[in-house]
Structure 1
Amino acid sequence: MIPAIDPDRWEEVWAADLDVLRSLAEQGDRSEVPRLVDVSFRGSADALDRLQASAANFGFVIQSRDPNGPQEPWLFLERIQPIDLETMREFTMTYLQIEDSFGVECDGWGCVAQNGIGQ
């Protein structure tokens, strides 16, 4: 069963993600161009172990993991996708569901702006 996301939490997180998308657009990003998008999570080693084992179920591959991070262990996941609004709404919902399902905290996501001509 997929956990429901609190509407207030959704609005706060989605507003922050829209700020990132606006910033990318200001850099000339073409949101329809697929690119590598990464997302990082912090949490207990056990929770990150479970997430790492399940990452493919969410369409992600493992980028890197630091079991001895300066504060908490962290795990970077990544996948190739565009960053148009529809895709990013799904992406945001996915990482919020991962937080709730695995007891981890999303530490942010990122990608490089793409102008459609190799940059």
Structure 2
Amino acid sequence: MGMGWDVYVCGVDGAPAVISLDLDLRETAERGTHPQRLHVRHAFHAPRANGLPDGTENDAMYALQDTLVAALTEETDAVYLACMNNHGYREHFFHLPAHSDGRTVVAKVEAESADYELETFSEDDPAWAYYTEFLWPDPRTMQYLMDRRVLQSLAENGDRHDLPRSVDHCLDVPDERSGRALLAEAQAAGFGGRVRAQEGRWQVLLERDDAVELDHIHGVVWGLCEMAERYGGGYDGWGCLIAK
């Protein structure tokens, strides 16, 4: 099962940005069939002081987005990567096959839309570097998105995130010695746990009572991510029972 689309907030050019991204396109990028990157952007009619939209034009922007995606997909076999709100603009990112005339398609969409003037920019990017190096979330942001997804699943089952309960964490380590050292550090931070060998891998299983409100549990998880990295390992996820 793929990761699908997700949205995150970051900073771009000294201003807040909201990026919505298809997280399932790495395999498409590796196939090398769409080497041309196309940007399409328009200004907001009503930006806030921070350069993000005020919400009053959402319907018009989403309608334009749907039209752009449909037209470019149908006429050029484009792949829609992401959109970004930043500095008073909404910008859409596509990858197209070589020699596709995406700008002509965008011009047609603009002619049929009375709402926005569209600016375009295209560049050869056969390695999809913009997708993997700029649009892709950094490691901490990606972990935040994954933590948020766990909480969304819990919420769908009636969980009270503010109620402390035992939360289990799994960390991978390269060997038993690293696992024992990591466990000792985690125990000093109030975790219980054990080290085990599992199908040729060494793992540290930790547990501690915590509330799972997003900012709190993400802080706990990221601390463990950094701890695992110090011992040459990696963080492998968390889980808990539903608390009502």
TM-score grouping bracket, smaller chain normalisation = 0.7 to 0.9
Counterparts of 1:91 and 1:85, CA distance in 2: 10
Who is 2:176 aligned against?
A: 45
Does residue 57 (structure 1) correspond to residue 188 (structure 2)? The answer is: yes
> Secondary structure in 2 aligned to 1:73?
strand
* Corresponding residue for residue 220 of structure 2: 91
User: What RMSD, in angstroms, separates the aligned Cα atoms of the two structures?
Assistant: 1.4
1:25 aligns with 2:155: yes
Give the aligned partner of residue 145 of structure 2.
15
- Structure 1: how far apart are the matches of 2:189 and 2:231? 13
Q: Hey, what's the Cα distance between the residues in 2 that align with 1:89 and 1:107?
A: 14
Structure 2 counterparts to residues 68-107 of structure 1, below 5 A: 68-107=197-236
Q: Distance in 2 between matches of 1:107 and 1:93?
A: 11
Residue-by-residue CA offset, 1:91-116 (whole Å, 9 max, x unaligned):
1221121122222211111100111x
Give the greater-gyration-radius structure (CA): 2
Query: Following superposition, which runs of at least 4 residues in structure 1 exceed 4 angstroms of deviation?
Result: none
Kept in 1, the 8 Å contact 2:180–2:195? The answer is no
Normalising by the residue count of structure 2, what TM-score does the alignment of the two structures yield? Answer: 0.42
| Pairwise CA distance, 1:58 | 2.5
Report the CA distance between 1:45 and its aligned residue.
Answer: 1.3
- May I ask how many residue pairs the two structures share in their alignment? 107
Report Cα offsets for 1:21-53 as digits up to 9, x if no partner: 100011000001110001011112121011112
Higher mean Cα deviation, 12-21 or 68-77? Answer: 68-77
The letter of the residue matching 1:24 is L
Given candidates 34, 54, 62, the residue that maps to 2:164 is 34
* Structure 1: gaps of 5 or more residues: 1-6
Q: How many angstroms apart in 2 are the aligned matches of 1:20 and 1:30?
A: 13
Q: Aligned partner of 1:79: which letter?
A: R
Give the letter for the 1:11 counterpart: T
Greater percentage in strand: 2
Distance 2:172 2:200 in 1: 9
Distance in structure 2 (CA, Å) of the matches to 1:112 and 1:50: 28
TM-score where L is the length of structure 1? 0.82
